[in-house]
Amino acid sequence: MAEKELKHCSFCDLEQAPSAPLIAGTNGYICEACVVLASQVVSSWGRKKALQEIQGPLSKPREIKQKLDDYVIGQDLAKEILSVAVYNHYKRLKFESGESGLGNASENIEIGKSNVLLIGPSGTGKTLLASTLAKIVGVPFVVADATTLTQAGYVGDDVENILVRLLDTAEGNIGKAEWGMVYIDEIDKIARSSEQSFGARDVSGEGVQQALLRLVEGSQVKVSSKGRRKDNDSSDQVLIDTRNILFIAGGAFPGLEKHVQKRLLPKDSAIGFHAAVSNSEIKPDLESMLNATEPDDLKRFGLIPEFIGRFPILAPLEPLDIDALIQILTEPKNALVKQYHQLFAYEGVELDFEQPALVAIAERALARDTGARGLRSIMEQILRKTMFELPSCEGIERCVINEDVIKCDGEIELIKREAPKQEAAQ
């Protein structure tokens, strides 16, 4: 009679005991271990469903680079590095969800995450590269400004707010948010201050680097689902696993090339009549110096070693020259010349840029040292007066922009439509 009263887990047949309680259901029982296992299975279902919602199959590295070429001019090395990093990252996610087709041979292999650090002058396309990658893969994407972040407990945004924004972008779907991408811009602005005295807190510099360590490496982070911090009330808080979130950081790192130069070209310490004379006027090529950047150079710049270790992949971006700026003006799908062509076409007017005018625009942007970011302000300055007057004018057919308009502040040539022959005869 006692044997019939013994209760067993309906899944693993575990016998009920004081150390192994069972949860009773309508037609059976379940033990604690099976509850945990069921939770893991359901969680994997949700992640698998979130992965299936990624737009189409995962593109190969060459295909990713080809899509980047449609929006970003040049930067072939950075494109190749990012394409491989993104492909390997989301290939790892497919493996974890059982969709990689790798079989059972790799079950005991755990692949780590490789975050990317973009290094290059302002206006070379760091943010554009990251946002375009997110569109290609089809995952939630957030751009965070490192200058607005402060160490926890001080005035400013906490680093956890990045995950709150990512969750909002994923429309509250935790599974999508955990496979998203985060781009942290202006990462060089949180470098450790060399002027900071020992023992003092650098809450907007080194303090932010330390706060980002746990977030970037991969951990369970509790954030508010409503976007507000609630220390006492945890009912509106959700747990986000950052282990599968790809972090891309970028910064201009002004002066980094000097640290690279000191490492590659040490100063001559010899003295005397026969000592070699060093030419200090020779300036190193910025592109070659950035390509030779190593973690030790970033440490001298002001990033702490723990933070550098979280970004093992360095992707340098080359400075833009005149030819690259002209290509940016004319070739991408969102090229500025194409945009203004369309704006003028809405008024029934054809906008014509002569080639010398494009060269002059590129030269002016190069002189401002703002990269491609300064091209729009130059175009607006040139076309503002014409765009103000054009809707009120009638009979205008073409607007011609020549070199004098750019260099000498000349007038834009407005060509009117020819009158019909019948009206001319009358």
The string of pLDDT tens digits covering residues 303-345 is 999 999 999 999 998 888 899 999 999 988 888 999 999 999 9
**Can you read off the two tokens belonging to residue 362?**
């590129």
Q: Which of these ranges, 1-5, 108-112, 249-253, has the smallest mean pLDDT?
A: 1-5
Q: Is the pLDDT of residue 146 over 80?
A: yes
Longest dimension (CA), the chain: 118
For residue 202, pLDDT over 60 is answered with no
Q: Given this model, what pLDDT does residue 105 score?
A: 43
- Give per-residue pLDDT as tens, 259-292: 888 888 766 555 555 545 555 555 567 777 888 8
User: How many C-beta atoms lie closer than 10 Å to residue 119's C-beta?
Assistant: 25
Range of weakest confidence among 154-168, 173-187, 271-285: 271-285
Identify the CATH assignment for 58-100+112-257+284-316 out of 3.40.1830.10, 3.20.20.210, 3.30.465.10, 3.40.50.300. Answer: 3.40.50.300
Of residues 39, 120, 104, 40, the one with CA closest to residue 72: 120
Instruction: Please tell me the predicted confidence (pLDDT) of residue 238.
Output: 83
Whole-number Cα distances in Å, 55 to 66, 81, 138, 200: 17, 22, 5, 48
393 is annotated as contributing to ligand binding: no
Tell me, what's the pLDDT at 103?
A: 45
* 408 is annotated as contributing to ligand binding: no
Is 28 marked within a binding site?
Answer: no
Q: First-to-last CA distance in the chain? A: 118
pLDDT of residue 353: 92
pLDDT digits (tens, 9 = 90+) for 228-251: 444 444 557 788 888 888 999 998
Give the pLDDT of residue 413.
85
pLDDT of amino acid 249: 92
What is the b/e burial string over 251-286, where b = at least 16 CB atoms within 10 angstroms of the residue's CB?
bbbeebbebbbeeeeeeeeeeeeeeeeeeeeeeeeb
Q: Is 128 annotated as a binding residue?
A: yes
Q: If one looks up domain 322-425 in CATH, what number appears?
A: 1.10.8.60
Check the annotation: does 12 bind a ligand. yes
Mean pLDDT, the chain, integer: 79
Question: In this structure, are strands 350-353 and 313-316 parallel, antiparallel, or unpaired?
Answer: unpaired
Residue of higher predicted confidence among 366 and 103: 366
CATH 1.10.8.60 residue ranges for the chain: 322-425
What's the pLDDT score for residue 80?
93
Say what the pLDDT of residue 266 is: 63
Given a contact cutoff of 8 angstroms between Cβ atoms, the answer to whether 399 and 350 are in contact is yes
126 is in an annotated binding site: yes
Q: What is the pLDDT of residue 422?
A: 57
Section 202-223 average pLDDT: 79
Q: Where in the chain is the domain with CATH 3.40.50.300?
A: 58-100+112-257+284-316
Binning pLDDT at 50, 70 and 90, where does residue 56 land?
low
Question: Would you say residue 369 has pLDDT above 70?
Answer: yes
